[in-house]
Amino acid sequence: MSAGTKRLLVIGHDYLATSGAIEGRFAERGYEVESIRVVPSDRFDDPGVDVDFPDPRDYDAVLVLGARWGVDGDEVASWVKPELELLHTADEADVPVLGICFGGQMLAQAHGGSVGRSPVPEIGPHVVSGEPAVAGIWTQWHYDRFVPPADATVIGVNAAAPQAFVLRRNLAVQFHPEVDADSVAAWMADGGAADARDQGLDPDVLLDHIRSLDDDIRVRAAALADYFLDVVAVGR
């Protein structure tokens, strides 16, 4: 790990990826943030890019964000494999990793769990039960779900899917603590409105609901980042 200024590597996978209040809390805690985007905007229709990922051992923590593609998709195999190797390297070096949605699924896949189609897609705010750091209403947007590794500790669940697990210095969450109404509005404009309607949801009502939660979510997202840094990252 680095000496002096703490460094956070943020791995985003598409142009809609945002780290929002989670990244903000890392910055407040003294982290210098370095971000990479895996798939350029001109390759979204052909996302099988070759990526030279940074060495996670050069950082004090890694944040892996969501993605529009599935972990097992053939179209993204060119970069999913090296990203899984990055997660293995981070784990072996005790570099803490926080994975969100697709990022959480990647942690499951990397460490002996699995990812599969969820029988109940979750679009919009849904309740999560579990440890105080993850319990409450969070915005969701997923069709797949992870099966945690056998040696992981599940700390969050709901009826649709496992929602959070801890494994050594890794924290995986299925929900999106980093997003607010503005970021979801961008998702809506990029096909998300159709996703919502397919689930019988009114996009405008859904967005209003998410906006009503924004202030509370920002506070709880900061608390979740604190839990990651103060409990998971130090191996408590």
- Dump pLDDT digits (tens) for 70-126: 999 999 999 999 999 999 999 999 999 999 999 999 999 999 999 999 999 999 999
Amino acid at 220: R
pLDDT (tens digit per residue) in 96-106: 999 999 999 99
Stretch 49-56: mean pLDDT: 96
- Say what the pTM is: 0.96
Tokens for 65? 């964000």
Active site residues: 101, 176, 178
Of the candidates 138, 139, 149, 158, which has an alpha carbon nearest to the alpha carbon of residue 196?
Answer: 139
User: Homologous superfamily of 6-232 in CATH?
Assistant: Class I glutamine amidotransferase (GATase) domain (3.40.50.880)
118: burial class by Cβ within 10 Å (0-12, 13-18, 19+)? middle
